[in-house]
Amino acid sequence: MATIEEILQVEAIETDIYRGPAFPSLFQRTFGGQVAGQALMSATRTVSDEYAVHSLHGYFLRPGNPDKPAVFLVDRIRDGRSFATRRVTGVQDGEAIFMMSASFHVTGDVGIEHQDRMPPVPSPDELQDRVDELPEEARAIFREWHQFDLRMVPHDKLAKSSYFAAQQRVWFRHRGRLPDDQVFHVGTLAYMSDMTLLGSSRVPHPDTEIKQAASLDHAMWFMRPFRADEWLLYDQTSPSAAAGRALTQGRIFDLQGRMVAAVTQEGLSRVSRDTSADPTARTDR
């Protein structure tokens, strides 16, 4: 399995054109976090060091082929005094598989400050790595992420709100020491943010078999510096699911209780249906 350093090492092949490497994978399609992370790293290569990414909005247009590299085309939409904007298109075999807009903000700006409190949870040291206890299908997925330590907070230890339809919390971090460059930690978190989030929509439906699940779009906001090789709490909710799609949201806190990022994602959550009578029924997105 590739390391996160190898995954995020995009290659410049022409001005504002980058290639993201491909690696052997257990997934049938390219992991969404890999595509988003490589797209973000490509965009970051085109802005000066005084700017840091503060938000990204991405759309997964087609399933990526995990056996092939992706090419990322960066458009320099705007370079202002305080903000810079980039648009990135990920391409395989001449077709767009991913589109992303990313906004960068000059560092050192000042303004009002506040944040929600981190919910009470057991510390990661109180939770065991229980990957071996998962069903075989789930264990296979976690083997793809072997370099990350993920610890699910048991549902009987969640401080729940009756206003939320679905709640899930996960501690996660990269197992090894990562480079100090904050850009790299942001790219790593973009990769990690796709892990487990869509699964929060299944919490109210433990006995329902989902026939097709895939990320459709993904948005992130980065509020404060952090390290992806130190424990981060992923506080996840799914406020709604309908029409074969599920909306999920996440807030990410560090061990000091600082909110460092927020995530919103919509994904497919299709259950089986009889399409034998409809010859035009599609099996793709």
**Is residue 251 included in any domain, yes or no?**
yes
CATH code of the domain containing 230: 3.10.129.10
163 and 25 co-located in one domain: no
Same structural domain, 98 and 155: no
Is the same domain home to 170 and 100? no
Catalytic residue among 167, 215, 238, 269: 215
Residue 84 sits in the same domain as residue 196: no
Are 84 and 45 within one domain? yes
Number of domains in the chain: 2
115 belongs to a structural domain: no
Q: Which of 194, 229, 235, 254 is catalytic?
A: 194
Q: Decide which of 76, 107, 138 is a domain's last residue.
A: 107
Out of 16-20, 22-26, 109-113, 249-253, least confident range: 22-26
Structure tokens, 58: 């991405």
Average pLDDT over residues 118-143: 76
Do 145 and 267 reside in the same domain of the chain?
yes
Examine residue 77 and state whether it is found in any structural domain, yes or no: yes
250 and 136 housed in the same domain: yes
Assign 33 to helix, strand or coil.
helix
Same domain, 75 and 152: no
Residue 75 phi/psi, 5° resolution? -105, 130
Is the per-residue pLDDT at 267 higher than 90? yes
Q: Which of 261, 243, 279, 271 is nearest to 197 (CA)?
A: 261
DSSP string across 167-204? EEEEEEEESS---S-HHHHHHHHHHHTTSSTGGGGGTT
Look up 194 and say whether it is catalytic: yes
Q: Please indicate, yes or no, if residue 120 is contained in any of the structural domains.
A: no
Residues 6+ apart with CB under 8 A from 153: 121, 122, 127, 168, 169, 170, 171
Domain hosting 86: range is 1-107
Calculate the alpha carbon distances from 124 to 171, 174, 256 in Å: 6, 13, 13
Average pLDDT over residues 114-119: 96
Same domain, 94 and 170: no
* Cα(91)–Cα(222) distance, integer angstroms: 26
**Does residue 86 sit within a domain?**
yes
Q: 103, 193, 265, 269: which is the annotated catalytic residue?
A: 265
Same domain, yes or no, for 11 and 136? no
- The pLDDT tens digits for 156-205 are 999 988 999 999 999 999 999 999 999 999 999 999 999 999 999 999 99
Across 10-24, average pLDDT: 96
Please give the structure tokens belonging to residue 53.
């990414």
- Same domain? For 186 and 272 the reply is yes
Residue 42 lies in a domain: yes
